[in-house]
Copies of this chain bind each other. A is one copy, B any other.
Amino acid sequence: MNRKGENFRTIWLKPGDPEIVQIIDQRKLPHDFQIHDLRSCQDGIHAIREMLVRGAPLIGATAAWSLYLAGLEESTASRHDRVQQAAIELGATRPTAVNLQWAIKRVLAAIAGADDDDLVRLLREEAESICNEDIEISRGIGHHGLAIIEEIAARKPGETINILTHCNAGALATINWGTATAPIYFAHQKGLNVHVWVDETRPRNQGSQLTAWELAENGVPHTLIVDNAGGHLMQHGMVDLCIVGTDRTTRSGDVANKIGTYLKALAAADNGVPFYVALPSTTIDWNIEDGLADIPIEERDATEISHIYGESDGRVLAVNTVPTRTAIRNIAFDVTPARLVTGLITELGTCAATTDGLAALFSSGEHPGP
């Protein structure tokens, strides 16, 4: 991810001080670019819950680094206990994204039976591995998704390829490159004429505040629209392709993602627009089949809807837009049934959003699978 030409990750160990993990405080974007220090596991829990970091892969990585910070908090003999307790607290921070549980389990497996003296080193190595692997996963998704964009480009040579995305499944949601955005960045770097319709993504405005920001930093042409507008654009042939991310995908291909994704998938199906979901295999929950029945859907605080952050006269502040006597419900995710998904773009390749499609792609045994 570029920022003023410099390449950035979204989470890293502070240079010169390996007891501090650093992140970008994503609540402050696009107005401020602030680096935030995590000095304890509690800081990591706060960062996940309050959405300083968000995006399924980055939530997983932050959980892994938080376990490392937990390991640092105790004297050698108590470290195992502290990490186990931290794993429980971290696991309860956000219910929908499955990467959180995956990362915690992976770290616990890596330290199982380890010597107390070795624990901190193993925790750090595992968090580093998760981050490095996530970047390779994003590259894989970018590579396989690029093929889909190239196919569209071949059908309309010289013309703009219009891609719609919802929420932020970008570099800021991962360690680098993103999931839904990786194919877009790869296509842009290859000189393909891509243009992105960016959904605002109420209530947290991840589209206008994160996706638009990172596309601008990377020089990718894009236009912001309200969440209501995608259907109209698709009716009028102004979208060639939708790509979104996901917080949890079932073994049958049902996709939980930011609230409103289902509505865009319906519009895509109604207008014959391909609708792809880009995901690391870590986002697949092989234990469940029926997304609507079995994926827990997080509800968040009403103030995320009533209070909108922005900049006025150089100050960043929140304004209230809602009458005080009005009740509010803030449902954070919805589930798009597999029947509306054209394909799943993973680090291993693209497959149909079906039990068979996923099983075939992940049958090699080298990767987590059914």
Residues of chain A at the chain B interface (Cβ within 8 Å)? 30, 198, 200-203, 205, 208-209, 212-213, 215-216, 221-233, 235-236, 258-260, 262-264, 266-267, 270, 292, 297, 305-312, 317-323, 325-331, 333-335
Q: Which residues of B contact A202 (CB under 8 A)?
A: 200, 202, 226-228
What are 12 pairs between A and B in contact, CB < 8 Å? A30-B322, A202-B228, A208-B306, A216-B326, A226-B259, A228-B334, A229-B329, A233-B331, A235-B334, A266-B267, A310-B318, A312-B318
Q: Which residues of B contact A308 (CB under 8 A)?
A: 308, 310, 319, 321
Q: Which residues of B contact A306 (CB under 8 A)?
A: 208, 224
- Measured CB to CB, the nearest residue on chain B to A258 is B228
**B224 and A322 form a contact (CB under 8 A):** yes
- 8 Å CB contact of A212 from B226, B228, B326, B329: B326
**B309 and A224 form a contact (CB under 8 A):** no
Closest chain-B Cβ to A7's Cβ sits at a distance in Å of 19
Q: Which residues of B contact A262 (CB under 8 A)?
A: 231-232, 235, 267
Identify 19 new A-B residue pairs, CB closer than 8 A, beyond the known A212-B322, A221-B327: A198-B326, A203-B226, A208-B306, A208-B321, A209-B322, A212-B326, A224-B305, A224-B322, A224-B327, A224-B329, A226-B305, A226-B330, A229-B331, A232-B259, A232-B331, A263-B263, A266-B266, A311-B319, A319-B319
**B331 and A263 form a contact (CB under 8 A):** no
- Measured CB to CB, the nearest residue on chain B to A340 is B270
- 8 Å CB contact of A320 from B236, B263, B305, B310: B310
Q: Which residues of B contact A232 (CB under 8 A)?
A: 259, 262, 297, 331, 333-335
Complex CA distance for A307 and B317, rounded to whole angstroms: 13
**B329 and A309 form a contact (CB under 8 A):** no
Q: Which residues of B contact A30 (CB under 8 A)?
A: 322-323
Closest chain-B Cβ to A277's Cβ sits at a distance in Å of 16
10 closest A-B pairs (Cβ-Cβ)? A228-B260, A310-B319, A232-B334, A30-B323, A266-B266, A310-B321, A202-B226, A212-B326, A216-B325, A263-B263
**B226 and A260 form a contact (CB under 8 A):** yes
- 8 Å CB contact of A328 from B224, B266, B317: B224
Closest chain-B Cβ to A184's Cβ sits at a distance in Å of 15
**B231 and A263 form a contact (CB under 8 A):** yes
**B226 and A322 form a contact (CB under 8 A):** no
Complex CA distance for A232 and B265, rounded to whole angstroms: 12
**B321 and A229 form a contact (CB under 8 A):** no
Q: Which residues of B contact A230 (CB under 8 A)?
A: 263
